[in-house]
Amino acid sequence: MGKYEIIDFLRRHGVVAVLRADAGGETLVQVVEAVARGGVRCIEVTMTTPGALECLKLATERLEGQEVLLGVGSVLDAETCRLAILAGAEFVVTPATNPETIRMARRYGKPIMSGAFTPTEILTAWESGADFVKVFPAEFGGPAYLKAIKAPLPQIEMIPTGGVNVDNVGEFFAAGAFAVAAGGNLASKALVAAGDFAGIESNARAFAEAVARARK
């Protein structure tokens, strides 16, 4: 899938599941599959998860041919970005802005969401070449903060992350979000540790439905 096809896929589906767990391997792959069954088709595996790259590679193989977009999150440097892309990541997410990491993602033709919070950080990420700005942590300020930032910076595509739930999804889109990202409210560490794949699937379905309602 080309870069602009990936961006269009993210736009159409509107929600990214952020998977952060204390253990990777087969369990995390099953979590990825449960999220996809629930209708959330954009999935980010964070580098804070043990064996994240191996999990990404295995999940990519397992889901080949399905309409699922796998990315990597919590990327702190350019080399990790490169390794993740080689393992199958179709998009890259960072918690903060790192110009070298942005350049690496662009070199490989993959979209990158760079983390930022203040207006200065958001503009810096955008001017450094980020395709989207991950407004993080979005629970501080919520939809009202996003709306305030979008007013002077309407050209910047923003994806709020942190504090996003099925009840406020609509407010974030109304405030101008390109998409939203959800972690613990979709696939919590407790659900992952318990192997509650049915619960994770149910949460994913609720998010997918909430996004669909918000964008009608």
Q: What pTM does this model have?
A: 0.95
Write out the two tokens for 12: 């159409």
CA dihedral 59, 65, 69, 72 (to 10 degrees): 30
Q: Domains plus CATH for the chain?
A: 3-214 (3.20.20.70)
Enzyme catalytic residues: 44, 134
What is the reported pLDDT for 21? 81
**Predicted confidence (pLDDT) per residue in 159-196, tens digit:** 999 999 999 999 999 999 999 999 999 999 899 989 99
Q: At what angle do helices 25-37 and 197-214 cross, to 10 degrees?
A: 40
Residue 104 CA to residue 101 CA, distance in Å, equals 5
Given a cut of 70, the residues of the chain with pLDDT beneath it are 24
Helix (H) or strand (E) holding 37: helix 25-37
What is the reported pLDDT for 141? 94
